[in-house]
Amino acid sequence: MSKVEATAYQAAMLRALALANQSPRFGQNPQVGAVLINDQGEILAEGLHRGAGTAHAEIDALNNLAAKNLSAQGLTAVVTLEPCNHTGITGPCAKALVEAGIKKVIFGTADPGEAEGGGRLTLEQAGVEVLDGLYEKECRVIIAPWFVNKFEKRPYVIIKWAASLDGRTAAADTSSKWITGAESRHDVHARRSQSQAILVGTNTVEVDDPELTARKPDGELYPDQPLRVIIGQRKISKEKRIFDKAAETIQLETHDLAEAMTTLFERGVNQVFLEGGSKIESELVKAGFADEFLIYLAPKLLGGPAVAIGDIGVGSIDRALDLEIIETLKLGNDILVRAVKKES
């Protein structure tokens, strides 16, 4: 592969990733994007999957190419996910690419589905050149929520905390407003709005009296407000702000996190945004339900006992929970570190 080709493929995959991010976030199928390029690296058509029962990203791209009266013969398909090899509501994408005359397929990450996978073999047996692993980490991150939903039958769980550089979430007098700056808080609200539920423990509701809505920088509510979920058996006063009319609120009167995850999943919640406190965060980590971490760090030192998470069952350094950093972002004076569990 020449340097020019590599650059063209990278640009094409970045565009495919952008398309995948436009795909429906919560559905039966993963978010996928695809582009079709010529030998000069020019994008001739692009596509994305718009939800169950609609054309897959590769087929969408082929359809868009045909609408321009262009042929796919000799083109390269760049796709975030390995083309599928099964016939469901729609036909197998691998076969469609072969029949269209595609000469090369580049995909980011393999399809983990038993029925859906195997597209690579079909393509190679038909004489199509196949390359994989381009921006693999980014492609895996996009399908991670779907993967957890499909194979673990529970919501994808994002744990968020804001802390000082020494990992403290409050000062010695318990004050915590505000550790991070306005830019970080705006980012939190934007990311809240992308989940279907915001989860919080009873102690946090009692002590902090949070509203737990998702608001724009001007204070306006985002159109789709996540379900607000309180977990714990303590009785909570209906006078708390979490019970206002800005969004629906429920309380799961249990300490069984597996039961809570099942209840939310059966209710149609595919992604949960955890807002604390440290006890429930620690328990979710210990239970293996923590899929992603959003850690907002402010350039401050606080000291004291108010740590972000407590005991997570790590007795020695060799038992540490290894994370993979997938994004860092400067937000005013703060830094966001986004991490996921490292694959073993």
List the catalytic residues: 58
**Are the CB atoms for 134 and 10 separated by under 8 Å?**
yes
Distances (CA, A) of 82 to 2, 18, 76, 184: 23, 17, 14, 35
3-state secondary structure of 307: strand
**Are the CB atoms for 85 and 117 separated by under 8 Å?**
yes
Listed in sequence order, the DSSP H helices in 272-342 are 278-287
**Are the CB atoms for 206 and 234 separated by under 8 Å?**
yes
Strands of the 43-48 sheet, one edge to the other: 43-48, 33-37, 76-81, 104-109, 129-132
- Nearest to 157, CA basis, from 324, 272, 295: 272
What CA–CA distance (Å, rounded) separates 129 from 108?
15
